[in-house]
Amino acid sequence: MQVVLIGVGQAGGKLAQAIAEFDYEMDLGAVTGALAVNTARADLQSLTIETQLIGQDRVKGHGVGGDNELGAEVMDADADQVMDALEGRITSQADAIVLVGGLGGGTGSGGMPVLARELKAVYDRPVYALGILPGRDEGSLYQVNAGRSLKTVLREADSTIMIDNDAWRSSDESLQAGFDTINQRVARRIGLLLATGERIGEGTAETVVDASDLINTLRRGELAAVGYATCEASEDAAENINAITSLARNAVLTGTSLPDAVDAQSALLVIAGEPQRIARKGVERARKWIEEETGSLDVRGGDFPMESDRLAAIVVLGGIERSRRVEEFLDRAREASEQTSASPADPTESFQDDRLDDLF
């Protein structure tokens, strides 16, 4: 799939750059453009991708702090500057537009849903959001911001891929120290996922996965997660049947961007590696296992030819909004919201819950 990436806020800009760099270094050809948008000048200065500063009249290049309502207002006022910066970049080649941002901060949290709305009004392309969920140890402001931002971005974007900052961090590192590692992991996983269907390397895939497989998988629900696992592989495909089934299991059970999210409406399994190492029987068994595990009958599968002596599984789970992990996060956000505001509680279901206000 060919995409234009837009990073909003500090985390968004760093991640957009990391994904674009991975795509370039691996010669994947999926990222056709990358833009970082921020209210903080200093955060943009450290980036090498294209940048757009917004909100200069309101915050003078100093950022919005953790105020995501201000982040949303600034994006609302200056969206035309971002649209101008994108002019001519979202060509007919682009299959989708992907927004990236931290849900817990200010600029990304508030700006991403507004920009999703603006982009959808102009482009007839799917707009996806890659939302970074704050870690459990981050303060209540982050949790409330993330809850409200998520609720709003789900409404505006076609699908939101959630990445929990606790999911891909090394256990011995603090969250701050671990950002570079997390960003590299996100770049590899999301970079490979986006490149699905873009032909690279020698061999051809036996069962081709193309952009429409990913689009159709994401279409089945509002929230999605991505799983990833890799292992050494024999040169003989017949010896890799079990390896492929355990790869899929590891990707879903331990390698996912949103741990414990296994109830899904749809899924896509991509096995990356040299075609002669990929066992058809293994891919088929792995696909069946995902059907059983997720309770979905809409599970697509295929290969991604790549030069490597290893195999990797990339699994997208679409429509995970009913998962325990999502409920757990929403509880955390609602609880924090009640502690920080006196707004009346009105418990209803999930995102309909009025205890988490929409941003706009």
Which distant-in-sequence residues (6+ apart) come within 8 Å of 25 by Cβ?
A: none
CB under 6 A: which stretch of 114-122, 176-184, 271-279, 329-337 binds ligand GDP?
176-184
Say if residue 151 carries a ligand binding annotation. no
CB-wise, 11 or 19, nearer to ligand GDP? 11
Question: Restricting to residues 91-110, which ones interact with ligand GDP according to CB under 6 A?
Answer: 101-102, 104-109
CB under 6 A: which stretch of 8-16, 90-98, 208-216, 264-272 binds ligand GDP?
8-16
Say if residue 110 carries a ligand binding annotation. no
Task: Report how far apart, in Å, the C-alpha atoms of 72 and of each of 54, 100, 112, 144, 262 are.
Answer: 11, 15, 8, 15, 32
61: how many CB neighbours lie within 10 A of its CB? 15
Say if residue 14 carries a ligand binding annotation. yes
CB-wise, 138 or 263, nearer to ligand GDP? 138
Least distance (Å) from ligand GDP to the CB of residue 321? 21
Say if residue 288 carries a ligand binding annotation. no
Whether 130 and 190 have beta carbons less than 8 Å apart is answered as yes
CB under 6 A: which stretch of 9-17, 27-35, 151-159, 311-319 binds ligand GDP?
9-17
Least distance (Å) from ligand GDP to the CB of residue 175? 6
CB under 6 A: which stretch of 4-12, 92-100, 282-290, 330-338 binds ligand GDP?
4-12
Which distant-in-sequence residues (6+ apart) come within 8 Å of 263 by Cβ?
A: 294, 295, 320, 322, 323, 324
Q: N- to C-terminal Cα distance for the chain?
A: 31
Question: Restricting to residues 110-139, which ones interact with ligand GDP according to CB under 6 A?
Answer: 132, 134, 138
Say if residue 60 carries a ligand binding annotation. no
**Which residue in 263, 259, 246 sits closest to 318, CA to CA?**
263
CA dihedral 130, 38, 50, 57 (to 10 degrees): 150
174: how many CB neighbours lie within 10 A of its CB? 11
Residue 11 makes contact with ligand GDP by CB under 6 A: yes
Least distance (Å) from ligand GDP to the CB of residue 110? 8
Whether 182 and 171 have beta carbons less than 8 Å apart is answered as no
Task: Report how far apart, in Å, the C-alpha atoms of 159 and of each of 46, 98, 153, 350 are.
Answer: 29, 10, 9, 17
Q: Which residues sit at the interface with ligand GDP, rule CB under 6 A?
A: 9-11, 14, 101-102, 104-109, 132, 134, 138, 142, 165, 175, 179, 182-183
